[in-house]
């Protein structure tokens, strides 16, 4: 119940006190009061309303020590007369824009968003990203202090600022999802909790900003990617590549939800944005009953559009892999080789991994083995390393699969 209610509680309190740190303190005070009183009095019929009323009374007590007592007292009094739930949607949207404000470093935005909107504890966030608890705690404290000192307004931006801020919100949500979907380090390939948190935030945002096509594009991308979760891990926890996955284990409900979200993004009109384009690529895989039925030519065309919209070496690498699938490994290898001198890909393990795959298909097994070993040395994830070393061993045996 607390995970559901606390983001709404903090959002409403932030609108009132104009200080996200103080709002979180007041929400925590209300939680303590509930833990003290509910075991004896019972859980109220409307626990969210009880917590909100308690937190607002605590706000009044805090503000009595403020020189602006009368004005703030009247303001909170008016807020307590507002029908419960009337402001919730707007407040949550404003809180998202504050938590993901560009004034904060990306890692601070992620930590603050998970703390305020996903209701994760500092310990849970630290465990998910494999960093010390003290590091996450410092990021959150500094983020709240930065927002307070900068006097960031608690409102929804408009015009060009809305586009920039919305892009930051989407980036944070997708960063959380990606860390859950393909953990950068550690022994687990997937951290399902982070995927679920990102999906929940994305769905909330889609409900709050229904006319923003890129919001639906991101939701579509996450839904379709999440549909493969069960098939990505084998019986012993080993990583299973996309083309080797049992598609019968893909979650059809998530695929339908993802395709519906992609359709909403397309119906809103205009050219597809980067998230919607990536969702369209994921949809090509989702619609194929078998790996051999995948429309690789369409995927190449979608990557062409994505590269034009958001040029990057990673997009070019993914496009090269798609070209290799659509037009043969030699064509793909030529494009991958052109990226080998790119300094931004020096430590990116997917580059030697992709090159190794193409070399293996061309029968150049010794070169493929060296590339897979190089990729294994670069990755920090134990499951990915195991798969890459297995592929290196297979190349030594002359097995292109």
> Are 95 and 157 a contacting pair, CB within 8 Å?
no
Q: What residues have CB less than 8 Å from 291, skipping those under 6 apart?
A: 242, 243, 244, 247
Please state, in angstroms and rounded to a whole number, the distance separating the CA atoms of residues 17 and 168: 24
The predicted-structure confidence for 68-82, as pLDDT tens digits, reads as follows: 555 555 555 555 444
Q: Is the dihedral of CA 181, 184, 186, 189 positive or negative?
A: positive
Residues 6+ apart with CB under 8 A from 243: 291
Tokens 């007590």 — which residue?
A: 61
Which of the residue ranges 13-22, 66-75, 91-100, 103-112 has the most confident prediction, judged by mean pLDDT?
103-112
pLDDT at 86: 45
The conformation of residue 233, written as its DSSP 8-state character, comes to: B
pLDDT at 1 over 50: yes
Backbone angles phi, psi at 185, to 5 degrees: -150, 170
As a whole number of Å, the CA-based R_g of the chain is: 24
Pure H helices in 227-349:
252-267, 274-287, 296-309, 313-327, 329-337
Say what the pLDDT of residue 131 is: 83
Which residues, other chains included, contact 386 with Cβ-Cβ below 8 Å and sequence gap of 6+?
238, 239
Q: How many helices (H) and strands (E) does the chain have?
A: 19, 2
So what's the pLDDT on residue 34?
A: 92
pLDDT the model gives residue 76:
56
Quick check: 168 pLDDT over 50?
yes
Q: What number is the average pLDDT over the span 3-15?
A: 83
- What pTM, to 2 d.p., does this model score? 0.76
Least confident of 106-115, 155-164, 300-309, 328-337: 155-164
């Amino acid at each position: 119940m607390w995970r559901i209610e606390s983001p709404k509680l903090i959002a409403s309190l932030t609108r009132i006190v104009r200080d996200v740190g103080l709002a979180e303190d007041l929400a925590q005070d209300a939680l303590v009061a509930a833990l003290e009183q509910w075991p004896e009095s019972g859980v109220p019929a409307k626990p969210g309303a009880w917590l909100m009323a308690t937190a607002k009374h605590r706000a009044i007590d805090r503000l009595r020590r403020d020189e602006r007592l009368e004005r703030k007292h009247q303001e909170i009094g008016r807020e307590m007369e507002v029908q419960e739930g009337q402001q919730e949607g707007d407040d949550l949207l404003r809180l998202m824009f504050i938590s993901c404000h560009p004034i904060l470093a990306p890692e601070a935005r992620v930590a603050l968003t998970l703390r305020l909107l996903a209701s994760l504890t500092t310990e849970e966030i630290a465990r998910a990203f494999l960093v010390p608890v003290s590091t996450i705690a410092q990021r959150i404290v500094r983020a709240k202090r930065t927002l307070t000192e900068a006097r960031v307004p608690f409102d929804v931006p408009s015009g060009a600022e809305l586009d920039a801020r919305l892009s930051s919100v989407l980036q944070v949500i997708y960063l959380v999802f990606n860390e859950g979907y393909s953990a950068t380090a550690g022994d687990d390939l997937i951290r399902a909790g982070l995927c679920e948190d990102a999906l929940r935030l994305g769905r909330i945002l889609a409900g709050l900003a229904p006319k923003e096509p890129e919001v639906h594009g991101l939701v579509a991308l996450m839904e379709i990617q999440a549909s493969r979760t069960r098939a990505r891990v084998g019986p012993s926890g080993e990583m299973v590549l996309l083309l080797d996955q049992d598609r019968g284990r893909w979650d059809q409900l998530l695929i339908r939800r993802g395709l519906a979200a992609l359709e909403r993004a397309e119906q809103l009109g205009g050219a597809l944005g980067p998230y919607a384009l990536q969702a369209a690529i994921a949809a090509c895989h989702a619609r194929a009953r078998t790996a051999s039925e995948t429309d690789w030519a369409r995927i190449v065309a979608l990557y062409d559009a994505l590269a034009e919209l958001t040029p990057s070496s990673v997009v070019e690498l993914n496009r090269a892999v798609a070209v290799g699938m659509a037009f043969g490994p030699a064509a793909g290898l030529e494009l991958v080789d052109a990226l080998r001198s790119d300094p931004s890909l020096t430590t990116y393990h997917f580059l030697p991994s992709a090159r190794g795959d193409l070399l293996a298909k061309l029968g150049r097994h010794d070169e493929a083995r060296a590339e897979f070993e190089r990729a294994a040395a670069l990755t920090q994830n134990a499951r990915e390393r195991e798969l890459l070393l297995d592929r290196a061993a297979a190349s030594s045996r002359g097995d292109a699969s």
